[in-house]
Amino acid sequence: MRKIMVFGSFDGFHGGHELFLRDAKKLGDYLIAVVAQDHVVRHLRGADPGANLAERFDELAKVDAVDEVAVGDFELATWRTIERYHPDVVAFGKDQTMLAEDLQNHLEKLTYQPTLITLNSFEVNRL
């Protein structure tokens, strides 16, 4: 079974999120969507998310392409979630360049190296 993992805040879930998740799912058999904790979103955006972690988690759990929802790491740039789930592929949205670069820089610290892919999924009119 080929496991795919994606990361995001998934706040204000919209068609672009759904397209990103569907495209990620096409890369394998099992999609794990990792939702950022509230304090991480606050740190990255400088503002609280519009929906709390539980609400965003529940929204993702309803998406057909998502097989499992996981809560993101408490501490940024530790990548413990990847170590816990061992995905074969980590897929990033085209707007997640900093996140992808951070993981690329941490790959040598992981016990294994997943394949990293950036998707061009944010074209809502493709729905």
What pLDDT score was predicted for residue 107?
94
Beta strands in 1-127 (DSSP E): 3-8, 30-35, 68-71, 89-92, 115-118
Q: Is 20 helix (H, G, I), strand (E, B) or coil?
A: helix
What pLDDT score was predicted for residue 121?
62
Tens of pLDDT along the chain (127 residues) come to 999 999 999 999 999 999 999 999 999 999 999 999 999 999 999 999 999 999 999 999 999 999 999 999 999 999 999 999 999 999 999 999 999 999 999 999 999 899 999 998 655 444 4
Domains and CATH numbers, the chain: 3-126 (3.40.50.620)
- Taking CA atoms, 27 is separated from 2, 17, 22, 24, 127, in Å, by 8, 16, 9, 6, 18
What pLDDT score was predicted for residue 120?
86
Torsion of Cα atoms, 78 then 19 then 122 then 51, to 10°: -60
Closest CA to 95 of 113, 65, 121, 59: 121
Give me the amino acid identity at 31.
L
What pLDDT score was predicted for residue 125?
47
What is the Rg, in whole angstroms, of the alpha carbon atoms belonging to the chain?
14
